[in-house]
Amino acid sequence: MIIVMNFAATPEEVAGVVAKVTESGLKAHVSEGKECTIIGVIGEKSLIARFDGEALPGVEKVLAVTESYKLASRKFKVTDTIIDVSGVKIGGENIVVMAGPCAVESREQLIESAYAVKKGGAKFLRGGAYKPRTSPYAFQGLEEKGLKMLAEAGEITGLKIVTEVVDAVSLPLVNEYVDMFQIGARNMQNFQLLKAVGRLTKPVLLKRGLSATLDEWLNAAEYILSEGNQNVIMCERGIRTFETYTRNTLDLSAVAALKNMTHLPVVVDPSHGTGRWKLVSPMARAAVAAGADGLMIEVHPNPADALSDGPQSLNPENFEVMMQEVAAIAEAIGRKLK
Ligand code: PEP
Ligand code: MN
């Protein structure tokens, strides 16, 4: 439910409505706009149905929200959310690039990757320390050793660190080393994990599930938001379709659709989205043209030797070329890449 306050409503009237909402066992989220204040009301459906806000002083109108996600909805918050990740803003004018290897393999490989992506203009170093692999026999990641290497690479280069967290058990440990959590496609509906990151304040990059609808994906974001953590970034990474040439089908219409549906920033990962390094730069350009606020790109010093996702990884030279190509698109739509 959304309560729209009258343009002349006083702070006391807004506080009065918030108090009434809270007394009714519901939660109020106040968002002050240029024209008026709106109060988003969330909670159990039966309590919402019983809540009568129309007659409260200062209230202009009360609107029902039909979507099951509320805090993630553009109706609740009209303006774009800009998320500050250790000083780097995601969702504003600048397009933020997160790049690095699929997996942290060794200190040398990671430091070399970090220098390469920094040189190309990335602001974040990515790299998996915990790898949710399809096969239990595939490389599973260096775990805490990998986290330490990520933190060291971040300190040396000044890059911010984003890495995947795979369960609530390892979350406190990952929290010690990184600037932003990544929830992977396979965990998009791991509701316990979503709630656990929701109870922290560190930003969360939420990847789209392998076959998740936009509604399911936004509801996953809602799990995090409803626990209190408002720093959620959506990441399109391709979905399963009948096509087999590409690893996944990168759904760029999702970028435009999400921009209407939610105020949260949207990032695109054309590496997992296509599975082929030659398609990464064209799809990165298309993503930025479609309105993406950032890109996640797999880069490896020597993709042929990568322990995972070599075929979709750019080498440092191709990453630099991609960055130049994407910068031209960013400029054409009035945004900046670096
Ligand atoms: C990744 O980014 O390392 C990854 C495993 O991606 P996804 O969860 O999108 O498959
Ligand atoms: Mn990968």
Q: Once rounded to an integer, what is the mean pLDDT over residues 292-303?
A: 98
Residue 33 is predicted with a pLDDT of 82
Q: Once rounded to an integer, what is the mean pLDDT over residues 205-224?
A: 98
Residue 264 is predicted with a pLDDT of 98
Residue 35 is predicted with a pLDDT of 84
pLDDT exceeds 90 at position 122: yes
Residue 8 is predicted with a pLDDT of 94
Instruction: Grade residue 229 by pLDDT with cuts at 50, 70 and 90.
Output: very high
Beta carbon of 160 within 6 Å of any ligand 1 atom: no
For a ligand 1 pocket test, name from 269, 280, 312 the mutation site with the most ligand atoms within 8 angstroms of its C-beta. 269
The pTM assigned to this predicted structure is 0.94
Q: Once rounded to an integer, what is the mean pLDDT over residues 226-243?
A: 97
Distance from the CA of 329 to the center of ligand 2, in angstroms?
25
Beta carbon of 207 within 6 Å of any ligand 1 atom: yes
pLDDT exceeds 90 at position 301: yes
Residue 314 is predicted with a pLDDT of 98
Residue 74 is predicted with a pLDDT of 93
Nearest atom within ligand 1 for CA of residue 103? 3
Residue 1 is predicted with a pLDDT of 92
CB–CB of 303/267 below 8 Å? Answer: no
Would you list the domain boundaries of the chain?
2-63, 83-337
Hey, is 204 helix, strand or coil?
strand
Distance from the CA of 205 to the center of ligand 2, in angstroms?
15
- Spatial separation of the C-alpha atoms in residues 130 and 168, rounded to whole Å: 13
Residue 66 is predicted with a pLDDT of 84
CA atoms within 13 Å, Cβ hemisphere of 111: 8
Alpha carbon distances (Å) from 332 to 93, 258, 270, 285? 13, 22, 20, 11
Q: Once rounded to an integer, what is the mean pLDDT over residues 87-100?
A: 98
According to DSSP, the β-strands at 88-90 and 96-100 are unpaired
pLDDT exceeds 80 at position 30: yes
Instruction: Count Cβ neighbours within 10 Å for each residue of 59-71 and write b for 16 or more, e otherwise.
Output: beebeebebebbb
Most confident of 16-20, 34-38, 65-69: 16-20
Distance from the CA of 113 to the center of ligand 2, in angstroms?
14
Per-residue pLDDT tens over the stretch 100-121: 999 999 999 999 999 999 999 9
Q: Once rounded to an integer, what is the mean pLDDT over residues 315-319?
A: 98
Residue 322 is predicted with a pLDDT of 98
Averaged pLDDT of the chain: 96
Q: Burial, 158: exposed, middle or buried (Cβ in 10 Å; 0-12, 13-18, 19+)?
A: exposed
Beta carbon of 100 within 6 Å of any ligand 1 atom: no
Q: Is 291 left (phi over 0), alpha (psi -120 to 50) or beta?
A: left
Residue 65 is predicted with a pLDDT of 86
Q: Once rounded to an integer, what is the mean pLDDT over residues 313-323?
A: 98
Distance from the CA of 184 to the center of ligand 1, in angstroms?
5
Closest residue to atom 10 of ligand 1, CA basis: 185
Q: Burial, 12: exposed, middle or buried (Cβ in 10 Å; 0-12, 13-18, 19+)?
A: exposed
Q: Once rounded to an integer, what is the mean pLDDT over residues 61-67?
A: 90
What architecture does CATH give domain 83-337? Alpha-Beta Barrel (3.20)
Token pair 């393999």 in the structure block, residue? 105
Instruction: Grade residue 67 by pLDDT with cuts at 50, 70 and 90.
Output: confident
Q: Once rounded to an integer, what is the mean pLDDT over residues 37-59?
A: 92
Q: What is the DSSP letter of 170?
A: T
In the CATH hierarchy, which fold is given to the domain comprising 2-63? Alpha-Beta Plaits (3.30.70)
Instruction: Grade residue 338 by pLDDT with cuts at 50, 70 and 90.
Output: confident
Residue 9 is predicted with a pLDDT of 94
Distance from the CA of 127 to the center of ligand 2, in angstroms?
8
pLDDT exceeds 80 at position 201: yes
